[in-house]
Chains A and B, each alone.
Chain A
Amino acid sequence: DQQVKQNSPSLSVQEGRISILNCDYTNSMFDYFLWYKKYPAEGPTFLISISSIKDKNEDGRFTVFLNKSAKHLSLHIVPSQPGDSAVYFCAASGRNNAGNMLTFGGGTRLMVKP
């Protein structure tokens, strides 16, 4: 069973506009969420995270929103730039894990067109 889902495999956005990437989770024990960006032939790069005690976290052009009641989070990128074109993964972890085990979604490929 997929505990973390990214239902949109791809997203295309015009440069300068907002990119919104979505993620849903089913495990109510998850209490920390992260977003990673991945270019081909590289490992994932950490972008931004949010604890379940918050509903929003901002870092520059990136903002993550968490809706605990809906078990939904989203990553907003404003303004989008061509260099943002990559695969984005959301990941979740929880206090029920003995270690730092991240559960990943399937990824969304973002294409930002100039």
Chain B
Amino acid sequence: KAGVTQTPRYLIKTRGQQVTLSCSPISGHRSVSWYQQTPGQGLQFLFEYFSETQRNKGNFPGRFSGRQFSNSRSEMNVSTLELGDSALYLCASSRDSLTYEQYFGPGTRLTVT
């Protein structure tokens, strides 16, 4: 079974631009979560989607948003990029809303200049 895939793997953007990251979960998994990893703050939860609905949101500004499609694929969007948004963005999938174990993709490395 294929793992979680994320595209693109690397991205360089300029301050003020916006960016969209994509995630395809493991086949059959219906819950998708997003995390941000930075050297200073570690791994922090952004949001989680299940059945196209956002069920939980971390402590991030409204510039961070996401959505999930009917095939469980998910996208996250960051608008008006700031230098501090440079990070590794990780997507994780789990079988359903009752399963704690999450399986992570390789991440998208975003650099904001």
Contacts of A74 in B (CB 8 A): none
Please give, as numbers and ranges, the residues of chain B lying within 8 Å of A89 by CB-CB distance: 43
CB neighbours of B97 from chain A (8 A): 99-100
Chain B: CB-nearest residue to A6 = B42
> CB distance A34 to B106 under 8 Å?
no
Count residues on chain B whose CB falls below 8 Å from chain A CBs: 26
A32 at the B interface (CB under 8 A): yes
Question: Which residues does chain B contribute within 8 Å of A42, judged by CB atoms?
Answer: 106-107
A29 at the interface (CB under 8 A from B): no
Q: Interface extent on A, as a size class? A: 20 to 34
- B50 contacts A46, C-beta separation under 8 Å: no
**Contact partners of B35 in chain A: CB under 8 A:** 102, 104
Using a CB–CB cutoff of 8 Å, the interface residues on chain B facing chain A are: 4, 31, 33, 35, 42-45, 48, 50, 55-56, 58, 90, 92, 94, 97, 99-107
Show 18 residue pairs from A and B whose CB-CB distance is below 8 angstroms, ordered by the A residue: A34-B101, A41-B106, A43-B4, A43-B107, A44-B104, A46-B101, A49-B100, A89-B43, A99-B31, A99-B50, A99-B55, A99-B56, A100-B48, A100-B94, A100-B99, A100-B100, A102-B92, A105-B42
